[in-house]
Amino acid sequence: MANAHCIASGMGGMRTAGDLVGRMEMSRGMKLKEAKEYVANKLKVSVLDLVDPVVMNELRDDLDIGMVSTSLFPGSAKAIEAKFRIAELLDIEINCVNRFRDKIVGH
Amino acid sequence: MEKVYTRMGDGSLVELSEGDLRRDLEEGTGDAAERGEIPALSKDELAYLFDIYSIPYRFVSVEMGNEVILSYDAATLKIRRVGVLTHRVQSLQIYEKLLGADTVEFDHVDYSFKPVKPIISYEQADVEQALLMTTIPVFYGAMPNLGSYTQPDGPCINPMELLPQGKIAEARVAQEEMIEHAVKDMVYVASAMYESGVDGINFDTTGAAGDADFLATLRAVEILKKKYPQMGIEVGMAGEFVLGMHGELTYDGVRLAGLYPHKQVELAMKAGATIFGPAVNTKTDKSCPWNVARAVTFAKACGENSPIPVHANMGMGVGGTPVIDQPPVDAVSRASKAMVEIARLDGL
């Protein structure tokens, strides 16, 4: 069922910019249109580009904000590394990034 | 006249005439409009729904550009449910890398807040590792599940045993005690998870035990939002109608019993929710077109009344999805497309 919804209606998560738009809805309570426009503006692409996996795969590589096929891109930012870069790119607070920073740097 | 193949609410295949299909769509939206005192779908919207259900393809999707955010609940539980024996961290990675999830949820197999409390340190340790290994937003999710606070599993007398005895006042007192226990547990668990780094908390099946269940969740959300203003909070409901098991509970002066989604969302937002998930239960003796027309009508009114994102619940048995463990893709994809393109929601 998850597959069916994803293919029918979903942005596609890390295949595109779905996780980034999702963060804006969750963290700032932005409605979808506003969240898409915010992310498109930050990424300097059109709103339609946000759901294009061809455009977004290249852009995610350029911005180093996490890719699906990590084995094809050794050395690329993964997981917590990518989240540090996403927080900076979108100008948002990410809770686990702040926690990680506190753990490394100290209180 | 052409025949249309579709499904009933229990998932069984059924053949409808075009006339039957139109009638079901009109009656479905009419049922929601009458109950919720909200507008029914327009002629154009019903025509669009008719097109979705009358085309013969096995799978349909939204038009390009209309894609929405999918916030999956109970990810770690669902991988375990089908017997794929991965650690929960790997379950999240499956959703992230293989299932195209936009957000994902970490949870315990006993999917309520109360059972997590005694094992909180184990949950925290796993969540902290999960957050190091995932990129997409991670919620921690559980159900308020007020019923778990009744004897013999909990401290309170079971109000469902008092009500048939005519002990209404005593049943109300029992529910008010259950609320106090539930709020304490939800705040404790959610706080621990947020301190461990999760992006947000999902209160799943809110209102399942009626108005007391809804009130407990609203109070917990209010406390958590004051404590952690940056916390993402999703309130996902259990059904389209809040049952008045108590009958006299209010939040911000509004009686909770009898609320439909367009009014539920107002209170969720006041409490501090950042995403609201309306749920509309599927009726198994009605067709999927009937159920989807009804669900979309409720969800549309909810979305139009909400300044926060609305993510309709579209799992098994809600949002027009059939009540069966493996819902057929022809039914799921049609419900998905209808909910996105007619209700104009922010996600599912």
Q: Residues B284-300: pLDDT tens digits?
A: 999 999 999 999 999 99
State whether residue A31 sits within 8 Å of chain B by CB: yes
pLDDT interval class at B2 (50, 70, 90): confident
pLDDT at B1: 54
Tell me if B258 is assigned to some domain: yes
| pLDDT > 80? residue A107 | no
pLDDT interval class at A3 (50, 70, 90): confident
The boundaries of the domain holding residue B302 are 3-341
Local structure of residue B281 (DSSP, 8 states): B
Q: What is the CATH number of the domain that holds B289?
A: 3.20.20
d(CA B345, CA B348): 8
Residue whose entry in the numeric block shows the structure tokens 């749920």: B279
With contact defined as beta carbons under 8 Å apart, do B200 and B231 qualify? yes
Contacts (Cβ under 8 Å, ≥6 apart) of B51: none
For range B126-153, the mean pLDDT: 97
Number of domains in chain B: 1
pLDDT tens track for B144-197: 999 999 999 999 999 999 999 999 999 999 999 999 999 999 999 999 999 999
Tell me if B215 is assigned to some domain: yes
Using the beta-carbon criterion (under 8 Å), do A13 and B68 form an inter-chain contact? no
Q: Amino acid identity, residue A76?
A: S
45-64 of A, contacting B, C-beta below 8 A: 47-48, 51
Using the beta-carbon criterion (under 8 Å), do B275 and A10 form an inter-chain contact? no
pLDDT tens track for A23-37: 999 988 999 999 999
For range B197-204, the mean pLDDT: 98
CB pairs under 8 A between A and B: 183
Using the beta-carbon criterion (under 8 Å), do B103 and A27 form an inter-chain contact? no
For range A79-103, the mean pLDDT: 97
State whether residue B346 sits within 8 Å of chain A by CB: yes
pLDDT at A71: 86
* A77: Cα within 13 Å, side-chain hemisphere: 16
Tell me if B319 is assigned to some domain: yes
Probe site for chain B from A3, A6, A7, A9 (most B CB atoms < 10 A)? A9
Using the beta-carbon criterion (under 8 Å), do B309 and A25 form an inter-chain contact? yes
Instruction: Name the token pair of B205.
Output: 């099946």
Instruction: Name the token pair of B212.
Output: 């007391």
With contact defined as beta carbons under 8 Å apart, do B159 and B175 qualify? yes
168-227 of B, contacting A, C-beta below 8 A: 194, 196-200
Provide the whole-model pTM.
0.95
Using the beta-carbon criterion (under 8 Å), do A99 and B340 form an inter-chain contact? no
B19 burial type by CB count under 10 A (0-12 exposed, 13-18 middle, 19+ buried): exposed
What are the φ and ψ backbone dihedral angles of B203, each rounded to 5 degrees? -95, 100
